[in-house]
Amino acid sequence: MVAAAATVAGIGLALPPAAKQTDLWESYFREHFPASARSLAERIFAHSGVDTRQACVSPMIEDVSDWSTAKRMQRYLVEALPLGKEAVSRALTDADLSINEIGLFAVCSCTGYVTPGLDILLSRDLGMAPDTQRLFIGHMGCYAALPGLGAVGDYVTARGRPALLLCAELTSLHIQPAATRFDTQQIVAHALFSDAAAAVVVRPGGSGYALAEVVSVTDTATADHMTWDVTDLGFRMGLSPKVPNVLAQHVRGLVDGLLSRHGLTRGDVDGWAVHPGGPRILNVVERELELTAEDMAASRETLAENGNCSSPTVLLIVERLRRRVNPPERIVTLAFGPGLTLYASLLVRS
């Protein structure tokens, strides 16, 4: 008997309160950066491609920049549990499944750690069956949703039972202390990142988007180009300006190889969900894959309305595509993160 395809049957999103990028700049970040960097920082914020973004802990209300990592992790649990519960509940409703039907619950997060983890605490709060298997995927960064999707997809195919994936990130907890020296990498990170949770229900067969394949490539020679270091004052982003150049070397081969194995070319894809690591990332992908402005619209709109939410972001874009009046037949997702690692998947409407 041929196993039914693992199919994305439901998606649920949970977004904290949003703020305008201009308000964040005027009310907080203008005075957060040293005077020597203020002019450049204002330009970076203005040209980030972000109009609004969300924060569980808004710096305009509560400044966490001098909090210890321990205090930030305590707050992570307080904020992440209700956000994750909301996203999961919406995904289950969208898929018309009950919590007891879930065989595997996977959670991706790189912005907070607690033990027992979100996978166990949410299982408790949502009333999952005691024999529900759990998987925590940590510290993979912005691309984590795609290996997470691959893992739950493999489970669904092998076991014939539905699975659930949650990506939850609270980047607002990791604002760094006011710098006394010029640090462009921190300016860029503070201009882009946002909070969100996204959950996906994957089941064997049925209507939705069948997961055709998940692929990746990692360029370990550039491992120092993107880092996420645990410090005494939260997690600190390292982001080299060379990242777009590395992506340019690999993204075309990754995507073309994925599509060719399914008898497809880029022209056969009518939905593109490209993780908006920033405007330069999107520009490079658009150029290297010879995509149109319309192809990139959902990714740019997500960056503008939600910012870079790390791992949930690509799922926000898929949901935007999925809710169009005429949903795409084929979606290619792309996400990038530490490694440097590129991940891609092919989703086919069923």
Residues in the chain, overall count: 350
* 3-state per-residue secondary structure call for 200-234: EEEEECCCCEEEEEEEEEECHHHHHHEEEEEECCE
> Would residue 56 show up in a list of annotated catalytic residues for this protein?
no
Buried b (16+ CB within 10 A) or exposed e, 217-229: beeeebeebbebe
Q: How far apart are CA 32 and CA 60, in angstroms?
A: 11
CA distances from 187 to 52, 60, 170, 182 (A): 17, 17, 18, 9
CA 269-109-243 angle, to 5 degrees, is: 60
Query: Which residue in the list 56, 108, 110, 142 is annotated as catalytic?
Result: 142
Q: What are phi and psi of 48, to 5 degrees?
A: -75, -15
| Tokens, residue 140 | 């993979």
Sign of CA dihedral 65, 228, 145, 291: positive
In the numeric block, the tokens 């956000």 are attached to: 83
Q: Is 153 exposed, middle or buried (0-12, 13-18, 19+ CB in 10 A)?
A: buried
Active site residues: 142
